[in-house]
């Protein structure tokens, strides 16, 4: 059987056949380039664009939920079409992920598009964390009963507890800090202090991925960042791309860091920005978002489950989503959770090799599960029973 797994994130879509080793990670958006006026770039077509300055984004998601279907349809058409997967819809099933507490009208629209517009043979809609914890439990020899998934993505971060493969909906917690907010905040900070980069989402996102890290000793790092000269070990020079000679931005080696530009290049001096930006994940109140940080939210989520479950949840925490790649993330998250959790509980965290594609990989394993057929809704069933059967069958 042919199964397509589509982890449809707001930032990137992870897509591929269940027979593939790795998914294709493509930007889930349509982009317009300032200097290319003859065409638009759909999804990963942006790789064909040579000048990536001043990119204009059309995003299908708003605050984590699918609202702009026109854009999404373009991306999907490109994804399933002849340029990429060349899907034979009549023969193919699809595993599709969606956000937590997805709105009813979005779900219905999704059903209609998948069954009526594309005419997939069968569909399974689920959450990304379901696939992650499924994979974790399959790979784990001890076969734990509970797992707690942190899913920190583009629009927001969620804490999702699972018990025997069922999510505990009442204990799900959401923090409105994600990769998009971090990049936007970094853009603002740099534009205020150094260089006007408000238009350069793409470049600054790369900058964030290249030099930002999560501090494990925030106050100490702040002190170091205040120092001048070689004592300041935080400071880095980032050379911006000009898309003629320099195709991609890069960090200058520490030995050569002077804070001064050489020749014609443009640089951004990254000092306390390097760790003060990702810090928002742990302290959203730093920019006036009146919410808990992810570690505190995790404890809140754990506390709202039953007493017996709590040690098991804390003993099996899984970190997924792009923000977990930030250096120091796991260490800091562990430190914060450890300091808040009761001392008698052991805390164990797992950071997969690739936290971005982990859910997709879980989808591959699920597609090869002997019970997979029982989880899906076929097109005939949908034609017979409509949206209700999807409501009954899918745990989303």
Residue (15 or 297) nearer to other proteins, CB: 297
Among 15, 59, 270, 366, binds other proteins (CB under 8 A): 59
Which span (85-93, 230-238, 276-284, 373-381) binds other proteins, by CB under 8 A?
276-284
263 lines the binding site for other proteins (CB under 8 A) = no
Residue 135 or 167 with smaller CB distance to other proteins: 167
Helices 179-193 and 201-211, packing angle to 10 deg? 100
The CA-based angle 224-230-235, given to 5 degrees, is 55
Phi, psi of 144, rounded to the nearest 5 degrees? -65, 150
Task: Judge residue 358's burial from the number of C-beta atoms within 10 Å of its C-beta, 0-12 exposed, 13-18 middle, 19 or more buried.
Answer: buried
The interface mask with other proteins, positions 198-217, x = CB under 8 A, is xxxx----------------
The distance of closest approach from Cβ of residue 393 to other proteins in the complex, given in angstroms and rounded to an integer, is: 18
- Which CB, 138 or 226, lies closer to other proteins? 226
- Residue 288 binds other proteins, judged by CB under 8 A: yes
56 is a contact residue toward other proteins (CB under 8 A): yes
* 84 near other proteins, judged by CB under 8 A: no
Question: What residues numbered 147-166 form the site for other proteins, per CB under 8 A?
Answer: 158
Kindly state the number of chain residues that form the binding site for other proteins, as judged by CB under 8 A. Answer: 78
- What is the C-alpha separation between 198 and 89, in angstroms, rounded? 42
Sites for other proteins among residues 103-142 (CB under 8 A): 103-106, 109, 112-113, 117
Q: How far apart are CA 167 and CA 133, in angstroms?
A: 10
CA distance 37 to 24: 27
CA-based max dimension of the chain: 72
Q: Which is nearer to other proteins, 134 or 275 (CB)?
A: 275
| Strand-pair category, 92-97 with 2-8 | parallel
Identify which of residues 61 and 360 has a Cβ nearer to other proteins in the complex.
Answer: 61
The residue within the footprint of other proteins, chosen from 119, 258, 285, 368 (CB under 8 A), is: 285
CA distance 76 to 126: 18
- Closest-CA residue to 352 (of 101, 147, 125): 147
Contact 300, 332 (CB under 8 A): no
We find the least distance from the C-beta atom of residue 66 to other proteins, in angstroms, to be 9
- Phi and psi dihedrals of 271, rounded to 5? -115, -110
Span of 11-19, 69-77, 126-134, 245-253 interacting with other proteins by CB under 8 A: 69-77
Is 300 a binding residue for other proteins by CB under 8 A? The answer is yes
Q: How far is the CB of 195 from other proteins (least distance, A)?
A: 5
Would you count residue 187 as binding other proteins (CB under 8 A)?
Answer: yes
Please report, as residue ranges, which positions from 19 to 48 form the binding site for other proteins (by CB under 8 A). Answer: 32-34, 37, 40
Choose between 48 and 371: whose C-beta lies nearer to other proteins: 48
Regarding 354 and contact with other proteins (CB under 8 A), the answer is: no
Give every CB contact of residue 32 below 8 A, 6+ residues apart in sequence.
40, 41, 55, 56, 58
Phi, psi of 263 (to 5 degrees): 60, -135
CB of 289 to other proteins, least distance (A): 7
Contact between 54 and other proteins per CB under 8 A: yes
Give 268 or 376: the residue with its C-beta nearer to other proteins. 268
Sheet holding 2-8, edge to edge: 24-27, 12-17, 2-8, 92-97, 122-126, 377-378
Q: Is 181 in the site for other proteins (CB under 8 A)?
A: yes
User: Between residue 319 and residue 338, which ones bind other proteins under the rule CB under 8 A?
Assistant: none
Applying the rule CB under 8 A, the residues between 229 and 248 that interact with other proteins are: 240
Length of the chain: 396
Helix 329-340 to helix 294-303 angle, to the nearest 10 degrees? 40
Could you tell me the smallest distance in angstroms from the CB atom of residue 160 to other proteins? 9
């Amino acid at each position: 059987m042919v199964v397509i797994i589509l982890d449809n994130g707001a930032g990137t879509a992870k897509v591929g056949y269940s027979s593939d080793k790795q998914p294709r990670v493509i930007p889930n958006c349509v982009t317009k380039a300032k200097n290319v006026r003859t065409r638009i770039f759909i999804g990963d077509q942006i790789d064909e664009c040579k000048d990536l300055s001043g990119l204009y984004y059309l995003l299908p998601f708003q605050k984590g939920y699918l609202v702009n279907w026109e854009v999404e349809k373009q991306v999907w058409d490109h994804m399933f079409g002849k340029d990429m997967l060349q899907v034979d819809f009549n023969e193919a099933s699809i595993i599709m992920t969606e956000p937590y507490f997805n709105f009813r009208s979005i779900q219905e629209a999704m059903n209609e598009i998948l069954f009526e517009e594309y005419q997939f043979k069968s569909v399974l809609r689920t959450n990304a964390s379901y696939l992650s914890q499924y994979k974790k439990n399959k790979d784990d020899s001890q076969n734990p009963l509970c797992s707690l998934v942190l899913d920190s993505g583009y629009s927001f971060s969620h804490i999702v507890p699972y018990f025997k493969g069922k999510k505990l909906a009442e204990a799900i917690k959401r923090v409105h800090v994600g990769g998009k907010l971090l990049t936007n905040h970094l853009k603002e900070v740099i534009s205020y202090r150094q260089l006007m980069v408000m238009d350069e989402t793409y470049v600054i996102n790369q900058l964030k991925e290249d030099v930002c890290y999560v501090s494990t000793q925030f106050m100490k790092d702040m002190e170091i960042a205040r120092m001048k000269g070689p004592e300041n070990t935080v400071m880095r020079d980032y050379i911006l791309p000009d898309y003629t000679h320099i195709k991609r931005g890069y960090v200058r080696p520490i030995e050569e860091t002077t804070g001064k530009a050489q020749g014609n290049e443009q640089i951004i001096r990254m000092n306390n920005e390097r760790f003060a930006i990702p810090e928002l994940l742990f302290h959203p109140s730093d920019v006036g978002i009146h919410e808990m940080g992810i570690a505190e939210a995790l404890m809140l989520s754990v506390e709202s489950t039953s007493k017996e479950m709590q040690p098991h949840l804390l003993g099996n925490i899984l970190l997924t989503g792009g923000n977990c790649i930030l250096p120091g993330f796991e260490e800091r998250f562990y430190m914060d959770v450890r300091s808040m959790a009761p001392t008698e509980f052991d805390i164990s965290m797992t950071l997969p090799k690739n936290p971005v594609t982990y859910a997709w990989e879980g989808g591959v394993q699920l597609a090869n599960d002997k019970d997979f057929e029982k989880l899906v809704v076929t097109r005939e069933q949908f034609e017979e029973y409509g949206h209700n059967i999807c409501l009954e069958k899918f745990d989303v």
